[in-house]
Amino acid sequence: MQKNQVWTQSVGMIINSIWIYTIAGILGSIFGAIDGILNPVGFLSALAGESGPTGAFGTLDIICQIAVIAGYVLFFLNIKKFVDVQANESDQKAAKDIYIAYILLIVAIVADFIPIIGGIAWLVLVIIGYIKLLSGFKALRDSATYTEDAKSGAAVLYTSTIWILVGAVVSIIPFVGGFINAIITLVVFFTILRGWKKIQDGAPDCSQAA
């Protein structure tokens, strides 16, 4: 299989995986809320750390959680393929920075559950993660080998990442912050998909190293 074909397929799967874990996460939250209303005994048992009866919506919530995990696994597998298919060392380093950044952000979410030191670990990992993410997208945006479409896609992802950070800061504002952040998050979701789609459509000739 030619490298530019691997490029197109891997980025296509990245886009699909983003849809999977995002939609599954939203549906899981909805199903979980409905199950909590319709099955309060099971919900209270879960809060107490006990296993209780799970209704139909609770089962759907579990299925969605599994789909979220599957989506993230698919995402990371194809980000790794995207790293490997880069045409030169500088592009590969930039793509690897993006890959590592996403891993750090996932680890940060897990670390946040650790008592006392979890919050500090979360903050450190998030800062490092977003620095590497911005660095990676900026380097791909300025790549000497990328097509204009691919560079434009990287630029969109770079800007989208900045807006994610803006939304996180805005969310601190009392009363309206959460609502504004929700709007930013929704818009950014679609711009991220557009950015990856432009990268997919702008696959360079990866058979030639610069």
Domain boundaries, position 68? 1-85
Q: Is residue 71 part of a domain?
A: yes
Q: Please say if the pLDDT value at position 143 is more than 80.
A: yes
**pTM, two decimal places:** 0.85
Q: Is residue 156 part of a domain?
A: no
pLDDT for the residue numbered 49: 55
Mean pLDDT of 55-80: 91
Q: Please say if the pLDDT value at position 191 is more than 70.
A: yes
Q: Is residue 127 part of a domain?
A: no
Alpha helix segments (H runs only) across 52-176: 56-84, 89-111, 117-141, 148-170
Q: State the total domains in the chain.
A: 1
Least confident of 41-55, 67-81, 112-126, 178-192: 41-55
- Write out pLDDT tens, residues 99-117: 999 999 999 988 988 988 8
Mean pLDDT of 196-203: 94
Q: Please say if the pLDDT value at position 210 is more than 50.
A: no
Q: Is residue 175 part of a domain?
A: no
- Write out pLDDT tens, residues 151-166: 999 999 999 999 999 9
Q: Please say if the pLDDT value at position 35 is more than 90.
A: no
Q: Is residue 149 part of a domain?
A: no
Q: Is residue 31 part of a domain?
A: yes
Q: Is residue 112 part of a domain?
A: no
Angle at 107 between CA 71 and CA 113, to 5 degrees: 105
pLDDT for the residue numbered 57: 81
Q: Is residue 49 part of a domain?
A: yes
Q: For residues 42 and 116, which has the higher predicted lDDT (pLDDT)?
A: 116
Neighbours of 156 (CB within 10 A): 21
Q: Please say if the pLDDT value at position 209 is more than 90.
A: no
pLDDT for the residue numbered 41: 58
Q: What is the dihedral sign for C-alpha 191, 193, 198, 199?
A: positive
